[in-house]
Amino acid sequence: MRYTDLRCAKCGTAVEPCMTSTQDDDEDIPPCDALLFLSYGNYGSRLFDSVMGDEYLLIIICDSCAAELREAGNVIHVTKEQPAVTRRAEKQERWRREGEEGTGSHGHVQ
């Protein structure tokens, strides 16, 4: 199975490969206008958790759906220098400070 045999996990849109393969097996060619996610699962998932790390799931989300998810606040942009957990703690601390300063509502004046 190739990456581009998958459809967007949110809207079902078909995706195209970013380049033409010169081989019969073009599994490694990423999709155009979409993001490819790989997950080994996680502890606590009832759906999938690759305990040994020798299996993973692939999911594709088209750029349009990814933009909608980002705008709805359902995507966290993480850098290697600042992991998601650190960023979440910093946001919570900032929101706490803003609440004490009277700005509340995550930086919006009440």
Q: Are 108 and 69 in the same domain? A: no
Residue 26 clears pLDDT 90, i.e. is over it: no
At 54, is the secondary structure helix, strand, or coil? coil
Residue 100 clears pLDDT 50, i.e. is over it: yes
Q: CA-CA distance, 8 to 46, in Å (whole number)?
A: 22
Q: Are 31 and 81 in the same domain? A: no
pLDDT in tens, 45-63: 888 887 777 888 899 999 9
Query: Please, which pLDDT band fits residue 103 given cuts at 50, 70 and 90?
Result: low
Q: Are 31 and 8 in the same domain? A: yes
Q: Which of 57, 70, 61 is CA-nearest to residue 8?
A: 61
What is the domain extent for residue 96?
76-110
Q: Are 83 and 64 in the same domain? A: no
pTM listed for this prediction: 0.64
Q: Are 65 and 17 in the same domain? A: yes
What's the token pair of residue 81?
């220098």
Q: How many domains does the chain divide into?
A: 2
